[in-house]
Amino acid sequence: MPGPFPREFREDVVAVARSRKSGVTIKQIATDFGISEATLRNWLRQADVEEGNRPGQTAAEAAEARELKKRIRLLEQENEVLRRAAAYLSQANLKPGPPVFDDHVKPVLRADAPNRLWLTAITEHCTKEGTLYCCAIKDACSGRIVGYSISDRMTAKLAVDAVRNAVTRRGDITGCILHADRGSQFPSRAMARELRRHDMIGSMSSIGAAGNNAAMESLWSLLQTNLLNQQRWATAHELRLAIVVLIERKYHRQRAQDTLDGLTPIELEAKLTEPLTLTA
């Protein structure tokens, strides 16, 4: 079962709701992002608490309470961690570089069920403030963007955060293949650890292959046509909100795709899960 929504997604939805134009309702924003109106109103109230505009326990205070409970356990583990690290570093000839994953999907970048193969790539977009980078993860079966992360820095953390957000939304994805191009953000130790943590399999395109970028082209071309070609964006914040609205509203729920038999990603996933719902 899917877990809670990732923080980056919640913050983006709250920002979109707060900046909505006159006549756009909270209910419409919630529908565009696939959540209930009550959920969005709860997020807005919690955001007010975080900013000191409403009484209540902030997320930081709740996290601090949980952290205190963990501290003793972490201290008990420290000696064992240090012992293992010393043993690891003592191996004179051990000088590993970043991991490079084999290509587990060539030449077919499709799957017959959700959460079996995810495709990921990073694109960059210019604003007057500077460059904004978007790492998106696409389900190869439904075409849905299952996770994303947006930042003004193209680092390994950008790719790892996108994976974490996707896993948070999709739940158990044991055995899922994450296929990427050969950008340096993907063959990193941080990414390898994240994939092991979720029992996922890393995969990278062969040298010179462009299939992964082509598979992501439907999203990138939509961004280019509907956002980047329309105006010069003044701030990274404005462009960020425009990107997440486009993904959740237009790409997921309004744009039928030929590769999905004329359905949208949301419609196809509903169709694929319908038999399970009827037999439950």
Tens-place pLDDT, residues 187-245 = 888 999 999 999 999 998 776 555 556 777 778 888 888 888 888 899 999 999 999 99
Contact between 37 and 26 (Cβ < 8 Å): yes
| pTM passes above 0.85 | no
> Is 70 inside any structural domain?
no
> Is 234 inside any structural domain?
yes
The verdict on 45 and 176 lying in the same domain is no
Out of 32-36, 119-123, 182-186, which region has the weakest mean confidence (pLDDT)?
182-186
Listed residue (98, 61, 104) closest to 212, CA to CA? 104
Look at residue 77 and tell me whether its pLDDT is greater than 70.
no
Supply the CATH number for residue 205's domain. 3.30.420.10
Between 182 and 202, name the one with better pLDDT. 202
Average pLDDT value for residue range 83-98:
51
Provide Rg for the chain, Cα atoms.
21
Q: Quick one: pLDDT band at residue 164, thresholds 50, 70, 90? A: very high
> Is 74 inside any structural domain?
no
Q: Quick one: pLDDT band at residue 106, thresholds 50, 70, 90? A: confident
Average pLDDT value for residue range 147-162:
94
Dump the DSSP string for 161-222.
HHHHHHHHHH---TT-EEEE-S-TTSSSHHHHHHHHHTT-EEEEPPTT--HHHHHTHHHHHH
> How many structural domains does the chain have?
2
The verdict on 154 and 34 lying in the same domain is no
> Which range marks the domain in which residue 33 is found?
7-50
pLDDT (0 to 100) of residue 212: 55
Contact between 107 and 132 (Cβ < 8 Å): no
Give the chain's mean pLDDT. Answer: 83
> Is 55 inside any structural domain?
no
Q: What share of the chain has pLDDT > 70, as a percent?
A: 76
